[in-house]
Amino acid sequence: MSVPPNKRICQIIKLKPSAVAEYKACHAAVWPGVLATLERAHIVDYSINYYPPLDLLIATMKYTGTDYESDMAKVAEDPDTQRWWKMTDGMQESLVEGATGSGGEVPWWASVEEVFRFEGKP
């Protein structure tokens, strides 16, 4: 997936109802190594929101680099990130057919098309 610099990305996944408290707790204290890896991969302004009526997690982020595929491959190779995904993937249910987990051939989180953007004045 070719992503231009300063591209916003939105992704969704289901959160298992039994994992809500644990998911929120681990995200209240994300491991420094995971955050450092995201920063090295040019991911900024990253947030995950939860919509309880649909058990839906909604992630938004900006990518400021120039080679998205390469940067995401580096994220997937990071040992801290791999351990993080092992912990959090079990709390989630992918909406992507054939997905088996984060970092796999098939994306774990489903990409959502942007249909409107208003930047406003800085």
- Structure pTM? 0.91
With 0-12 / 13-18 / 19 or more C-beta atoms within 10 angstroms meaning exposed / middle / buried, residue 79 is exposed
Residue type, 1: M
Is the torsion defined by CA of 53, 14, 96, 116 positive or negative? positive
Would you say 46 and 64 are in contact if contact means Cβ atoms under 8 Å apart? no
Tens-digit pLDDT string for the chain (122 aa): 455 557 899 999 999 999 999 999 999 999 999 999 999 999 999 999 999 999 999 999 999 999 999 999 999 999 999 999 999 999 999 999 999 999 999 999 999 999 998 888 87
CA-based nearest residue to 20, from 74, 79, 93: 93
CA-based nearest residue to 23, from 115, 92, 72, 77: 92
Please state whether 108 falls in left (phi above 0), alpha (psi between -120 and 50) or beta.
alpha
The backbone torsions φ and ψ at residue 102, rounded to the nearest 5 degrees and listed phi first, read -60, 140
Residue type, 34: V
